[in-house]
Amino acid sequence: MRLKPPSPKGHFLLGHLPEFSADTLAFMLKMREYGDIVALRFGPFPAYVLNHPDVIHDVLVTNADKYHKSSVTKNVLEPVLGNGIFTSDGEFWRRQRKLVQPSFHTKRIGAYADIITSYAERILDTWQPGARLAVDDEMTHLTMRIISKTLFDAEVASDVDLIGEAISIVLKNTDDRFNQVPTIPYWVPNRINRQLRTNIAKLDTLIQRFIDERRTSGEDKGDLLSMLLAAQDDDGSVMTDKQVRDEALTLFGAGHETTAVALTWTWYLLSQHPEVEAKLHEELAQVLAGRTPTLDDLPGLKYTEMVIKESMRLYPPAWGTTREVIAETQLREYPLKKRDTVFINIYGMHRDERFFPDPLTFDPERFSPEREKSIPKHAYIPFGNGPRICVGNAFAMMEAKLVLATVAQRFRLTLAPGQMVEPQRMFTLRPKYGMDMIVHARDTYVPVETELAAAGD
């Protein structure tokens, strides 16, 4: 008889789909009670949730060639991203990854540090002390402007606005499609798909214009688009316009909301942990003393990095990922069949007390040089792992550190009265009710406790 992993009780027809859809994050946490590998059924389709670093490592790294990106991911994302490196597989993916990866080499991306801080400062100039701000939106606007500039050198307001508006609608519609069970095919002319088509067409026209301008002028603007256009294969061949478009949109799509979400959760956590915030301020005072941070400051901003890492442990922007088996394989003692789906439970693993003692406590010291070594291997994977590890991870860490340092030098953010906070699984792990916060200028800020004490005198 075929060995099968433990499985929770499911609906006779729909299997585990109703419980999974009702509250995916709670479901993912609960799955850990059943074992390291848990068998599920979505309607007639078998799936497995993976809850242990070793089995996850097996899928993402050791036997990565036995798996492809899952059909659900592809069905939803391909209409937008085409055949870019997020959605493609096999030899095609390998070739494209080789062409794209050098653009993200540390030396190359260092050139973007000044863009990041100057855009962060521009946004801060619009913040008024005492104002209530939707910090999640502020972070999304900021990272969108940064990626528009670093990817396309786009600065013309009309272009940036068009990209911003179209990509927000595309991402919203893509989220809606992810939440449809089963996914409604892209060719069906329903409202979501019609909106999606219109906005993808706008983005395509704009990106094609950028490509045409570059090809005509031959100018190297030092942005990612110039690098994609110049990237050559071993045999000297370059990408077609369609492929450059797909990779550009892939980088655009994957490269801003994730970082915005990471920063949003970090502001929230700092607002709840004054002792961590104070230590962060101490580091900023020591390393920067009020200067705008630069690339050279990054190695000195160690605590800033520990804060971001710990924030992405508790609230991993990519809360999970999936793979589909392409040829019969084995996971521990269990045989997996072609087309079975596996869920990599990043959210569950990052909150598992077997790997992170006192897992719900926000403690950046877990990532201090001494203690980080004691985190079990492969238990912390906000950027994934193996050959498909996030191609933009160094860019994202640089961006998050520079933005956090630039903002935290000037402002503190406290949670707005009445703001409810709960993570929600969309394509990324978003705050379900948004994240309204109150802006306080650092130098004039009077802590709430003092104000209350003063009032009582």
Applying CB under 6 A, the residues found at the interface with ligand HEM are 85-86, 97, 250-251, 254-255, 258-259, 262, 317-318, 321, 382-384, 388, 390-392, 395-396
Using Cβ positions, the residue closest to ligand HEM within the complex turns out to be 392
Whole-number Å distance between alpha carbons of 284 and 214 = 40
452-to-255, 344, 437, 438, 445 alpha-carbon distances in Å? 42, 47, 19, 17, 14
Q: Is the dihedral of CA 21, 23, 27, 29 positive or negative?
A: positive
Query: Which residue, 5 or 255, is less far from ligand HEM as judged by CB?
Result: 255
3 state DSSP class of 365: helix
Residue 58 structure tokens: 């097996």
CB of 98 to ligand HEM, least distance (A): 10
Pairing of strands 67-69, 45-50: unpaired
Least spacing, CB of residue 338 vs ligand HEM, in Å: 19
> What is the rounded distance in angstroms from the CA atom of residue 146 to the CA atom of residue 355?
35
Closest to ligand HEM by CB, 193 vs 321, is 321
Identify which of 136, 154, 170 has the alpha carbon closest to the alpha carbon of residue 253: 170
By C-beta, is 27 or 395 nearer to ligand HEM?
Answer: 395
For ligand HEM, the closer of residues 99 and 169 by Cβ is 99
CB of 339 to ligand HEM, least distance (A): 17
Q: Which two tokens stand for residue 330?
A: 């084995």
Least distance from C-beta 313 to ligand HEM, angstroms? Answer: 11
Token code pair at residue 423 = 């993570």
Max Cα-Cα span within the chain: 79
User: Rounded to an integer, what distance in angstroms lies between the CA atom of residue 126 and that of residue 137?
Assistant: 14
CB of 316 to ligand HEM, least distance (A): 6
Query: Is 82 or 382 the residue whose CB approaches ligand HEM more closely?
Result: 382
Q: How far is the CB of 247 from ligand HEM (least distance, A)?
A: 8
- Distance from C-alpha of 442 to C-alpha of 129, rounded to nearest angstrom: 9
Query: Least distance in Å: CB of 381 to ligand HEM?
Result: 7
Strands 411-415 and 436-441: antiparallel
| Cross-strand bridge partners of residue 329 | 336
CB 250 → ligand HEM: shortest distance, Å? 5
Label the pairing between strands 45-50 and 341-344: parallel
Type of residue found at 157: A
Distance CA 35, CA 332 (A): 12
d(CA 350, CA 344): 11
Cα–Cα dist 316/256, whole Å: 14
Query: In this structure, which amino acid lies at residue 1?
Result: M
For residue 270, the minimal CB distance to ligand HEM (Å) is 16
Question: Are the C-beta atoms of residues 165 and 238 closer than 8 Å to each other?
Answer: no
Shortest distance (Å) from residue 429 CB to ligand HEM? 9
Whether 413 and 270 have beta carbons less than 8 Å apart is answered as: yes
Closer residue to ligand HEM in complex, CB, 378/440: 378
CA distance 27 to 21: 9
